[in-house]
Amino acid sequence: MSDTSFDILVIGGGPGGYVAAIRAAQLGLKTALVEREHLGGICLNWGCIPTKALLRSADIYRNFKHAADYGLGVQGASFDLAKIVARSRGVSAQLQSGVKHLLKKNKVTVFDGQGKLAGKGKVSVTSKDGKPVAELAAKHIILATGARARVIPGMEPDQKLIWSYKEALVPDTMPKRLLVVGSGAIGIEFASFFNALGSQVTVAEALDRVMPVEDAEISALAQKQFEKQGMKIITSAVVKSLQKSATEVTATIEAKGKTITEVFDRVIMAVGIVGNVENLGLEGTKIQVDRTHVIVNEWLETGEPGVYAIGDLAGAPWLAHKASHEAVICVEKIAGLKDVHPLNTRNIPGCTYCHPQVASVGLTEAKAKEKGYAVKVGRFPFVGNGKAIALGETDGMVKTVFDAKTGELLGAHMIGAEVTEMIQGYMVAKTLETTEADLMHAVFPHPTLSEMMHEAVLDAYGRAIHF
C-alpha cells in the first residue's frame, strides 16, 4: 500500500476519532486520521476540559469566600477573568499537544483538512479554502465528526451579546446579569461558573425541572441548592424572543401561563446539539441520517459497507467517554477480536460539574417503574457522613435503585461534593452485574465520601447503619 492507502481512515480527531486511530494502530492496522480544525475535538478544546478548568477557578474562589468557616483568614479575595480564561486555554493546549504526541508515537498519519467520502473506500481531503490536500483510500472508514450547538432561529449567537459555549469559554467581560437558556450539563455548568464569580444568573428551562435527564429527587435537590446560591430558576419556560440593543438583551419568556420580560447583559444558548453530517459526502451512499445523526447498528456500522460512525455523530448519549468506548468497540470488531461486546448505554455514567456536582448511571426511579420493575430504593444524605462534615460539604445525597426481585442495581444517582469521581464505583458494579448482596459485602474505607455509596445500598434493604 502507498502512503495514501490505509487499512483504517478516521474522519475527525475528537475523543472518538483519535482513540479509534490509536487503537487501530496498536492492533497493527495502517491508520490515518483527518482533522479539519484541532486535534482533541470540541471536548478537549471547547468543551469538557476547558470548562473544568474554569470551574476549578470558581471552586477555589468560592472556598476563599468561606475561609472563615475553616478557621482561615482571607481578606480581599478577587479574581482576574483574563487570567482564569488564559489558564483554561493553557490546559486545553497542553492536552492537545499530548494527543498530537500520542498519534505520532503510534505512527498514525494525520492529514489537516476536511475529509469527505469520495466513492467506495475513498476519501478526499481539502483545506479550509477548498484546495485539494490529498486523495486517500481505505478498507474501513470511521466517521467521527461530532456535533455542534443547536441554533434557534432568531436567537443565533452573535459572539457579543448572545453566546454559544465558545464565547462563554472565553468571556471578555463578567456579565452582571446573565440568562442561560437550557439547564442540561452545559447550561448548568456555565450557570455555576458565572454565578460563583458574581453574575446574577437566571436559568430558563423548557421542561418542568432543571437537569431533566436526572432522577427527579436529585433534580429537586439541585434546584434548591442553585437557588440557595442566588440563581433564579424558571422552569416550563419558553424563550419567545431576544431583542438586542448595543449593550444588552431583552428577553421575553413565557412560563406557566405568564409572560416575563427581563434585561440581561449576556445570554448563553445551551439548547442541545446537532450532528456534523454536512459536507461528508453522504449523498449517494446507503448511510441513513435521523435528525442530524447517522444511524448505526451495535457494531457502529452504517448502511454503507465499510463505513462506520461513532460518538455524537451516531447519537445519544452525547458524552466523550461514550465516543471513546465506541471507538474501541468499532476498531476491535473490524480487527476481528473475539471478545468484543456491544455497548450497553445503561452502564454509561453521566457527570455534571456544577456546584454541587451531579452524577448518575442507569435508570432513574421513575424510568425503572415505567419499565415495570418493582424497585427497592435507598438513600443516604451527605450530612450523615463524617468525611462530608469534615470537608464542610454536607449538602447532597446518594440514591440507589434496585430490582426488588433479583437485587440487580438498576441505577445510582448522586448530588454533592466529588460525586463525579465516586460514580465509577456504581458503574463498575453494574458492568460486573453485581447484586445488592455483593455491594453489601464490599468493604468501603473510612472516613471517605464513598461510604455513603455503601449506606445507600444498605438503606434500600432497611439496613442502613448511620441514618
Beta bridge partners of 177: 200
- Give the CA diameter of the chain: 68
Report the SS3 class of residue 186. helix
| CA separation for the pair 320, 15 (Å, rounded) | 6
Beta bridge partners of 260: 253
| CA separation for the pair 397, 414 (Å, rounded) | 6
Strands 132-143 and 5-11: parallel
Burial annotation 89-119 (CB, 10 A radius, 16+ → b, else e) = eebbeebbeebbebbeeeebbbbbbbbbbee
Q: Compute the Cα dihedral for 353, 359, 365, 370 and give only its sign.
A: positive
Give the catalytic positions in this structure.
Answer: 446
In eight-state DSSP terms, residue 444 is: P
CA dihedral 322, 323, 325, 330 (to 10 degrees): 130
Report the SS3 class of residue 215. coil
Asked if omega into 447 is within 30° of 0 (cis), the reply is yes
Beta bridge partners of 409: 402
Other CB atoms within 10 A of residue 395 CB: 18
Q: Are 407 and 437 in contact (CB under 8 A)?
A: yes
